[in-house]
Amino acid sequence: MSEPLHIIAMARPRKPSITLPEHVHRTVSRGKEYFTFQYGRGTKNAGPRIKLPHPLDPEFSSALHAAAGDHAQRPAAETFDALIEAYRLSPEWRQLSDASRRDYSRYLIEIARMWGDLRVGDFEASDALALRDRRSSKPAATNYLLRVLSLLISWGIPRGFRSDNPCAHVRKLKTGEGWEPWPWNMIERIRDGAPAELWHVATVALYTGQRQRDVLSMKWSDLLNDGTIGVVQEKTRTRLWIPIHRDLSGVLQSIPRHSVFLLTNRRGLPWTQDGFRTSWGKMCKRLAIDEQLVFHGLRKSAVDMLLEAGCTTAEVAAITGQSMQMVEHYAKHVNQRKLASSGMAKWENAK
């Protein structure tokens, strides 16, 4: 089978890497990665160098096809390789948010690695079930992978790849209650022991209830004269105006203005998503932060604190941009604690 025009994840010790399609080259300059397409590189028949986005960028597939032109090698018909390529060039793919396309891309890469040259029609429910059981130690990620796989196959049904979806017969794994909220003593450990640039990010995340990607994308111009932070959530495209908490206001006044972006690394440069994740992970390890506490848990902490302060689910949803159903799910646990405390107090005070 010829090499398809998508990327294949290859496992290496410690740090995963990406095997690039033929004629795609990676260079690093000043710590930043660059990707280009050049046919016949290093030969007398070398073609022009054409800049490409990062392989995980939503536009990578279409940009690669445009650059490859007549040099493109096509995947075998009716295979998962062909299905993935067709899906990533479809209107349905373009209509997804950038965040969703990035998330889907990670799992499409994995699907291609496992079954790229397999005919979609030969895929069976037992294959999906075996995948689920093999990865059961990470239920949330496994459920997301199965969701993307099911969506991909469903998209291919009216396009002749097969007539049914075997993933419909595979039940999701139980995931428990999701991300753990950060207890206040752990938040204080970050405040007292983390570098200032990481504490700044944590504070903005906690007091706005936003996702990592949206927090790192905030600019100084998003701080509005009416005392709010203007946010357009990348994943949902929801527009929010979040009042600035007085404790956050004090932290914002201490942040140096190195860039148009509100939050920068120790060199005064805007954070990259991967760069921040690496720095955050090293800091958590150094401070012996519980492994169950991840950055996204600060968003859940914000929800819990708002609810415990007596906010309604509508007020919380207006700040975090979450659905009412999600906030109500969190509210059940907060309300249970409040009711239990109230009930025990009444019992103790009873004659």
Q: pLDDT tens, 72-97?
A: 556 678 899 999 989 988 999 988 88
- The total of other beta-carbon atoms located within 10 Å of residue 311's CB is 17
pLDDT at site 25 = 85
- The total of other beta-carbon atoms located within 10 Å of residue 77's CB is 11
Q: What pLDDT digit, counting tens, does each position of 102-134 carry?
A: 889 889 989 988 998 899 999 999 999 999 999
Place of tokens 């939050």: 263
Question: What separation in angstroms does the CA of 138 have from each of 45, 58, 130?
Answer: 48, 25, 14
Strand pairing class (228-232; 239-243) = antiparallel
| All structural domains of the chain with their residue ranges | 184-342
The Cα 199–Cα 54 span in angstroms is 29
* Chain Cα centroid distance, residue 44: 42
pLDDT at site 153 = 95
Q: Which residues contact 347 (CB under 8 A, 6 or more apart)?
A: none
The Cα 203–Cα 277 span in angstroms is 16
pLDDT at site 18 = 59
> Do 316 and 303 contact (CB within 8 A), yes or no?
yes
Question: What separation in angstroms does the CA of 117 have from each of 81, 83, 228, 301?
Answer: 6, 10, 52, 44
The Cα 270–Cα 261 span in angstroms is 6
The pTM score is 0.61
Q: How many residues does the chain have?
A: 351
φ, ψ of residue 276 in degrees (nearest 5): -70, -45
Scored b (16 or more CB within 10 A) or e, 97-130 reads eebbbbbbbebbbbbbbebbebbbeebeeebbbe
pLDDT tens digits in sequence order for the chain, 351 residues long: 444 444 444 444 344 345 577 778 888 887 788 888 887 777 766 778 888 888 777 677 778 777 776 555 566 788 999 999 899 889 999 888 887 888 898 899 899 889 988 999 999 999 999 999 998 888 888 999 999 999 999 999 999 999 999 998 899 887 665 678 899 999 999 999 999 999 999 999 999 999 999 999 999 999 999 999 999 998 888 899 999 999 999 999 999 999 999 999 999 999 998 899 999 999 999 999 988 889 999 999 999 899 888 888 899 999 999 998 888 887 777 777 777 888 888 888 886
Instruction: Give the CATH architecture of domain 184-342.
Output: Orthogonal Bundle (1.10)
The Cα 278–Cα 164 span in angstroms is 41
